[in-house]
Amino acid sequence: MERDAISHLEELLDGDFVKTVDLIYQNKGRVVISGIGKSAIIASKIVATMNSTGTPAIFMHAADAIHGDLGSIQKDDVVILISKSGNTPEIKALVPLIKKGGYPLVGMTGNPESFLGTQADLCLNTFVEKEACPNNLAPTTSTTAQLVMGDALAICLLELKEFGSEDFAKYHPGGALGKKLYLTVGDIARNNQVPRVAPDTDIREVIVEISERMLGATAVLDQNEVVGIITDGDIRRMLKKHTEIGSLTAQDIMTTQPKTMDVGTLAVKALETMQDNGISQLLAVDGTDYVGVVHIHNLINEGIL
């Protein structure tokens, strides 16, 4: 029933939806979103979505609004009231006060002929045939429709504002989501040890270097330019192939032309490269200079994988 209600919403979109998007986009103030009961919870979620996608918004509970919180509405704000019936006592009390203050009012209601639907400057129709609740009482289908309508508003505004991934990162600096948008290869590599050997390094010293640096690999450098990589896997293959290793050096077993990535590249891109190539390490470089190693365990620890 909720799936069908969402599908039906598209048929209810009209010029008022376009005007609402344009009103918010052109306005210099915030979007104040209010409701009562379950609609208030949906209002709070829409506020959070708008704030995170570049449209400043605040939540105002309809019951609290008529007891002082009406003062939170400022000049140039747009007010959206959400109510399934559009006729609840709190909404009826609040609408005249908002209109008296001269604030643009958008009603989101399942009944465009209600008090809210007829008194609002613009009306977003979220009509549903029936609640998913067997008794047709608990707000279920109706709140789903409200949620989707709010998301539609937020995404239209996001696109109008050309709100990109860099903007998104500013508002989501914490957690795995934020890290995917700002954490770079250099950020990770610079926190790791920096294993390195020369092409003529004795193989036993190579093994010690890999073991002590604890990244499962070492870069092979000529001056500070990468010429190869040796991993734990290369060591195992060497031991399987050679019974005598005393004369071997790094250049005898290294993999030439290893996968490298610039320090400014996003770490999530490093993950994609590792997965595409079936490898566990990448060498971080700054131009042609070697900086360090990024291991897939680093990406797991950062929450990117």
Q: Is 295 annotated as a binding residue?
A: no
CATH class, 182-301 region: alpha beta
Pick the CATH number of 2-163 from 3.40.47.10, 3.10.20.30, 1.10.10.10, 3.40.50.10490: 3.40.50.10490
Query: How do residues 61-94 score in pLDDT, each as one tens digit?
Result: 999 998 889 999 999 999 999 999 999 999 999 9
Query: How do residues 3-49 score in pLDDT, each as one tens digit?
Result: 988 998 999 999 999 999 999 999 999 999 999 999 999 999 999 99
Residue with token string 């995917």: 180
Query: How do residues 223-246 score in pLDDT, each as one tens digit?
Result: 888 999 999 999 999 999 888 888
> CB of 106 within 8 A of CB of 122?
yes
User: Domain residues of the chain, as ranges?
Assistant: 2-163, 182-301
The pLDDT, as a whole number, for residue 185 is: 94
- In this structure, the strands spanning 225-231 and 255-256 are antiparallel
